Structures are given as C-alpha cells and as structure tokens.
Amino acid sequence: MLHLKICLVCSSRLPANKYGGTERIVEWLILEFLKMGHTLVLVAPKGTHIQGVNCIPANNAEEALMSIPKDVDIVHFHGWPPVDDFEIPWLYTLHGNASDISTLPVNTVCISANHAARHQKKTFIYNGVNPDEFIYREQKQDYLLFFSMIRRKVKGASRALKIVQKYKAPAVFAGGSRIDLIKGGGLFNSFHPRIKFVGKIGGLKKAEYFASAKALLFPIDWEEPFGLVLIESLLSGTPVIATPRGSVPELINTDVGALFTKDEAFPEALEKALSCSPKNCRDWAIDNFSSAVCAANYLNLYDQIISGENVF
C-alpha cells in the first residue's frame, strides 16, 4: 500500500467524551493510519482536535462537502455522505440501522455481515477497538457487568435486572442511573444490595469494571449492528453472555461466551461463559476486532476503490 492522503468526514465532534461509538471508531482509525505513515485530513464540527491531523471545521453536510481538499486520494464518510456521485473516490460507513435503506448511497459499507444483509449491501468491515484502552485481567471478581445505555429499552437493562434478581447474581450496572429505569423499565427490580449502579463511566474506571467482571451480560432486544461493548469486554479477558440478535452471533462464539434466548437458559449460558479462557477472549478480539485489523481492512478497501474495482 502506497502512502495515501485520506480525508475522513465525521458529523460529530472528536474526540468523544466517555461515550460515542462512531466518534471512537473514527478516532481509532485515524490513530492507526497515522502509525502507518498516511496523511490525514478530518472534516468535523468545530472544536474537533486530534494531534497530527489537519482538522477542518464544518457544521453540516453542505459545508463538509465544500471543505474536502481536492488533492486527497480518498474520502471516507462517517456522516454527511454526498447525495449524488462525488468527484473523488469515496465510501460511506453506515454505523447504525437505517430507517429507509432506499436512501443509502451505493458506496455504503456496513459493519457486520448481518448489518449488510439487512440493508441489502454486500460490503462490510467489522469495527475495531483499540486494545490499549482496556485492561486485561485473568483474576475476576464475583459480579456480572451490564454496560449499555440504561434508558434505552432495547438495550435490555430491565431484563438484565430481572435475571440477576431471579438467579441471585451480584451485578454492576453502568450506562445510567436508577432514574433512567423510569423510562427503560425495571425500577422495582433494581433495589437490592447485590445490585450496584455506577452511572456513566469512561476511561480507566470503565476499563477497571470490564477487567474485573466475571462476565458481561448483554440481553439486547434489537438488531445490533455491531456492539462495541462486546469487544471491549473480550479485550479485558471477560466473556460475554448475550441474546443472539443482529451481529452478536458473529462476534461471540463458544470460546468467548454463550448465547441464550429464554431467561430459563441463563444459568447454563452463565456456566458456559465462565468456562471460557480470558486469554481466548482477548486473543479472539485482537485477531478479529482490533483497531489495527479494522484499519488494515479499510486500507485494502480504499485500494480497491481507488483502482476502480466494483466493490459495492
């Protein structure tokens, strides 16, 4: 791969503060590209700053398109994609679920095989997480970790609370507070000494909770496009117990966790997950879903697009 001048377009300000899936993926990609010696331009909202990158402010799609330098080799949109064709080789990564797939650009890349199939696209590249932001630990404490936006019903906080109450499992809930359960459900089941709420956390505190948990509980009720939290858990050496929705079966195999559908199957899934080796969890995540692997896969796709190959 030759030296490239890459322009990334993001509709959210970087770097992310604690949360932000798309923003973190873009930042990790940039850091990997810089390590490889490529030149980076980032078009994003005012206030964005990443060392070593030419950051150009834009407040909307029109401004973003006008701000893209003409001398870049490829433009990678993570928001604000062009409506019509664009004069420079380009691609658009869809990070969520589209409400109307007919409006998606032809040059759309999805983030899992399931995500691509549901959006009638053939090209996908798995997201990648930076392993350096997480702590690998083999010795675990006796608690399950729930880490998602608690106020969003589809993330499954209510179901997780019901499960840990029924099976008397100590649990830590991160991603919100009990007040969020008024909207998300499960408030009654949240009052128990074995259940702890730690709010919205990031950085070292987040890494510590992931590293110390005996397993991540991920009982989602929607078609998950990717699920960064699953990879964050595996990088910490922590197996995953999850419902098989969306991309989850692609990310979690029997060596790194267990899947369950009915609540009655949770004890068996927990037993299977706890038998998984922390090293297998981390190795699987690094080999398949690290930021370095993600960046290498995108660079290969960039090369195909620049060469004029029909990848879409």
40 and 122 together in one domain: yes
pLDDT of 1 over the 70 cut: no
221 and 262 together in one domain: yes
Tokens at 82, concatenated: 């062009």
Using the structure block, give the residue that is written with the tokens 């080789």.
89
Using the structure block, give the residue that is written with the tokens 């190959």.
309
181's CB contacts (< 8 A; 6+ apart) are 150, 151, 157, 158, 161, 187, 190
Tokens at 197, concatenated: 């709420």
Q: Is 213 within a domain?
A: yes
DSSP string, 228-281: HHHHHHHHTT--EEE---TTHHHH--TTTEEE-SSGGGHHHHHHHHHTS-HHHH
**Angle of the 228-235 helix axis to the 203-212 helix axis, nearest 10:** 70
Q: Is 312 within a domain?
A: no
182 and 217 together in one domain: yes
Higher pLDDT, 20 or 277: 277
Q: Is 79 within a domain?
A: yes
According to the model, what pLDDT value does residue 171 have? 98
107 and 196 together in one domain: no
According to the model, what pLDDT value does residue 16 have? 82
pLDDT of 87 over the 80 cut: yes
When pLDDT is averaged across residues 196-200 and rounded to a whole number, the result is: 96
Tokens at 130, concatenated: 């930076």
Tokens at 14, concatenated: 């970087």
CA distance 158 to 10: 33
- 290, β-bridge pairs: 129
According to the model, what pLDDT value does residue 196 have? 96
164 and 123 together in one domain: no
- Look at the chain and count its residues: 312
102 and 178 together in one domain: no
CA distance 206 to 201: 6
Tokens at 307, concatenated: 């060469």
CA distance 257 to 92: 32
153 and 230 together in one domain: yes
CA distance 237 to 16: 24
278 and 296 together in one domain: no
Q: Is 198 within a domain?
A: yes
Give the helix/strand (H/E) hosting 31: helix 21-35
Range of the domain at 302: 5-128+290-306
Residue 249 buriedness (CB in 10 A; 0-12 / 13-18 / 19+): middle
Q: Is 208 within a domain?
A: yes
CATH for 66: 3.40.50.2000
According to the model, what pLDDT value does residue 192 have? 87
266 and 198 together in one domain: yes
Tokens at 52, concatenated: 């070593």
CA distance 290 to 231: 8
Number of domains in the chain: 2
> pLDDT category, 183, cuts 50, 70, 90?
confident
Q: Is 302 within a domain?
A: yes
Tokens at 89, concatenated: 């080789």
37 and 139 together in one domain: no
> pLDDT category, 18, cuts 50, 70, 90?
low
301 and 228 together in one domain: no
216 and 199 together in one domain: yes
Give the helix/strand (H/E) hosting 242: strand 240-242
Task: Judge whether 126 and 147 are in contact, CB under 8 Å.
Answer: no
DSSP string, 180-218: GHHHHS-TGGG-STTEEEEES--HHHHHHHHHH-SEEEE
pLDDT > 90 fraction of the chain, expressed in percent and rounded:
92
Give the pLDDT confidence of 51-71 residue by residue, as tens digits. 999 999 999 999 999 999 999
Q: Which of 141, 161, 143, 145 is nearest to 153 (CA)?
A: 161
Q: Is 311 within a domain?
A: no
When pLDDT is averaged across residues 297-305 and rounded to a whole number, the result is: 98
pLDDT of 194 over the 70 cut: yes
